[in-house]
Amino acid sequence: MSALSGIKVLELARVLAGPWCGMTLADLGADVIKVEPPTGDDTRGWGPPFRDGLSAYFACCNRNKRSIALDLRLPESRPLIEALIKQSDILIENYRTGGAESLGVDYATAKKINPGIIYCSISGYGRTGPDAYKPGYDFAIQAEAGLMSITGPIDDMPYRSGTAITDIASGQNATMAILAALIHRMKTGEGQSLEISLFETQLQLLANSASGVLFSGKEAKRLGNQHPNIVPYQVFSASDGHFVLAVASENLWRDCCAALEKPELLKDSRYIDNAARVVNRETLIAELQELFGSQTLLHWQNLFEKAGIPIAPINSVKQAIEHPVTIARGMQIEIGNVHMIGSPLKMSSSPVEYRLPPPQLDAHRDIILNELRQQGWIT
């Protein structure tokens, strides 16, 4: 039995953060019903690529769900959406602030229909505060909440992350909050309202960069592929390619110097410990880079792997998907001829399940309606 078998989720969410949360709960065994407008989730049209009318973007975050299309603005949809709320343990929505209220699916209304419901609201900037009514998009939040200011080359424009990391992390935060709320309800019988914002999630993701500003009062700097607090911990160039070297402890630094046959670096007062190496990063990195450029990537991989020092080639997305670890760990999956990346959640007693491919729009209407009739929620 999966961990969330028997838990029913109503997903009134679109694009990525809300659907990512819904898919995670579905992988864990929850029955997720995705309510879409008649035009479908926006991401159904985000492509190419498409396969059999399904966009790759939609597919990445909507497996294990059942789809029904409803226009919540129409009075005739009211009995059905109320029935879906009544039978649900969890409701996920990511409307713009005020949108859920205008459609009659806000927390106050849902709580009257189902007092025990766990209602998870995902927004760009929170449901209160000066920007509550602004739309929230991952790219804009990466910019406004600080991530882009520390991402990209030192002397070039700021860059966004290559994936929508703020959306995905917000979906993960929503999942954690929902699971905690389920435990709370088991203990007390109480449902509750949960609120997750992309802006606050991105602030959290600043982690040591934000902490450094709070400690020092100084602005965080963009360092390209260097680390603000650890040296050497960055990208280097071999004679035929790039690699990441992560020397994240004094033991590793000693092992690195030994592997490179550079004992003089250990005795140099400029590099005596990590704090000194951070202050003197420019001279150290220049010396190391000159050395690394003299040999091939394979040479450095063999040398550092033998010494137990973290080194990694910079793989393409295709190379990462075809990586031996990806294959060995079962992270390439296929459901109904749809290829996807699997769940990283490995659980010995209640493993994740892959039951349904990402649904076509309104694919499960008849099944859902029949279930609601059998349960007496609608006539």
In the set 42, 167, 255, 268, the catalytic residue is 167
List the one residue out of 335, 336, 359 whose CA is nearest residue 69. Answer: 359
Q: Annotated catalytic, 138?
A: no
- In this predicted structure, what is the pLDDT of residue 1? 79
- In this predicted structure, what is the pLDDT of residue 265? 94
Residue ranges and CATH numbers for the domains of the chain are 8-205+355-374 (3.40.50.10540), 233-315 (3.30.1540.10)
Q: CA-CA distance, 55 to 2, in Å (whole number)? A: 28
pTM of the model as a whole: 0.92
Whether the CA torsion 367, 373, 378, 379 is positive or negative: it is: positive
- In this predicted structure, what is the pLDDT of residue 379? 84
Q: Please name every residue paired with 318 in a beta bridge, in sequence order, or none if there are none.
A: none
CB 102 within 8 A of CB 176: no
Q: Identify the segments of the chain with pLDDT beneath 50.
A: none
